[in-house]
Amino acid sequence: MGPGRIAGGVRQENQEQEVGAGIAMSDTVPVVIYGDEYCAYCAAARMLFTRKGIRFEDVLVSRDPARFDEMQARSGGRRTVPQIFVGDVHVGGFDDVCSLEKSGKLDKLLAGEAAGQHSH
Ligand SMILES: N[C@@H](CCC(=O)N[C@@H](CS)C(=O)NCC(=O)O)C(=O)O
């Protein structure tokens, strides 16, 4: 998918307002956060990208078993939320994205540069 395009499964407008985060893709590399409504790590992950001005697809897997299965398949079997993807790269959960942010590697990933992460 090219930059700025909207992927399928973006949640409804009213659901978006519950959490208050962006729902569209990053203007650079598309970012997807699989999460649920009540998970504090998910809220923290959304906040990190929102603070950076990076839009993302906010997938609520608790409401969508098919997207939960998709999350598991893309993340090598992970069942915890959040699971975060920057382009095809599986970043991992909040702890992982936080480490990448601190090391400056998240910005490289967002700019389309590899950061030693793996895709499944
Ligand atoms: N270290 C993980 C923690 C993720 C985590 O504990 N997520 C909780 C919700 S906040 C979860 O998925 N619990 C369900 C489970 O463990 O199956 C991260 O930073 O993302």
1 lies in some domain: no
- % the chain with pLDDT above 90: 68
Cα separation values, 53 from 14, 32, 61, 82, Å: 21, 14, 23, 19
7 lies in some domain: no
**Pocket-forming residues, ligand 1, beta carbon under 6 Å:** 39-41, 79-82, 93-95
Q: Whose CA is nearest to atom 2 of ligand 1?
A: 93
Average pLDDT over residues 28-39: 94
Which domain covers residue 69, as residue numbers?
Answer: 13-110
DSSP H or E run through 31? strand 31-35
Cα 64 to the center of its chain, rounded Å: 16
Tens digits of residue pLDDT in 105-120: 999 999 998 755 555 6
Residue 116 Cα to ligand 1 middle (Å):
23
The pLDDT, as a whole number, for residue 113 is 85
78 lies in some domain: yes
**What pTM was estimated for this model as a whole?**
0.76
Give the position of tokens 């203007």: 27
Cα separation values, 56 from 67, 74, 81, 104, Å: 15, 17, 15, 19
SS3 58: strand
The pLDDT, as a whole number, for residue 24 is 44
Average pLDDT over residues 53-59: 96
6 lies in some domain: no
Supply the CATH number for residue 57's domain. Answer: 3.40.30.10
120 lies in some domain: no
Contact assessment for residue 36 and residue 2, using Cβ atoms and an 8 Å cutoff: no
58 lies in some domain: yes
44 lies in some domain: yes
118 lies in some domain: no
Average pLDDT of the chain, as a whole number: 82
| Total of domains in the chain | 1
